Amino acid sequence: MSYVCFNQIAVTGPRPKVLRLRADARRRLPSSLRKWTDRASVAFSLERLFQKNSLPAPSSNGIPFDAWHYFTWAEPVAEWHGYAQIVYGLEVKNYEVYELLTPLSRAYADLCFVDSQISLDSGEIMAAYIARGRCSKWILSEERCDEIGRA
């Protein structure tokens, strides 16, 4: 059984570090994939981030391929309480994004990641705070998920 989740990931930290992550995460697609995906680049390439930082896949599922498993978007870098922040949107199938962000957060130790995820199959809503290889996550109660779904 497969499941699809939409994630919104906020990455916050010193401006130069956020800009480095943004540059590292962007991947230009080869022309053959550009035609298929109708996009010139992937805004948040987990595939590229894992390769660039020489990290092993955190699970037996491997790492999502840029062209086949998800689409991404990015908002412009913004100031946030004296720090810089960039927000990414990511839809992925059969992956828990916080499990992918946890090892990445070791490579970007000056940044914190907040992943907000909604399951498009069950409506379950989860949030995770990830920094320096550690993750804390919260799952909203079914009643709260239903309230948000009605809003």
Tens digits of residue pLDDT in 92-114 = 877 889 999 999 999 999 999 99
Phi and psi of 55, rounded to 5°?
Answer: -100, 140
Q: What was the pLDDT predicted at 7?
A: 93
Q: What was the pLDDT predicted at 121?
A: 83
Phi and psi of 28, rounded to 5°?
Answer: -75, 135
pLDDT band at 120 (very low <50, low <70, confident <90, very high): confident
| Separation between Cα atoms, residue 133 and residue 101, nearest integer Å | 8
Closest Cα to residue 49, out of 81, 33, 72?
Answer: 72
Q: What was the pLDDT predicted at 150?
A: 75
How much of the chain, in percent, has pLDDT values that exceed 90? 51
Average confidence (pLDDT) over 32-53? 81
Task: Classify 131 as helix, strand or coil.
Answer: strand
Read off the pTM.
0.87
Average confidence (pLDDT) over 16-26? 97
Q: Which two tokens stand for residue 87?
A: 């927000």
pLDDT band at 78 (very low <50, low <70, confident <90, very high): very high
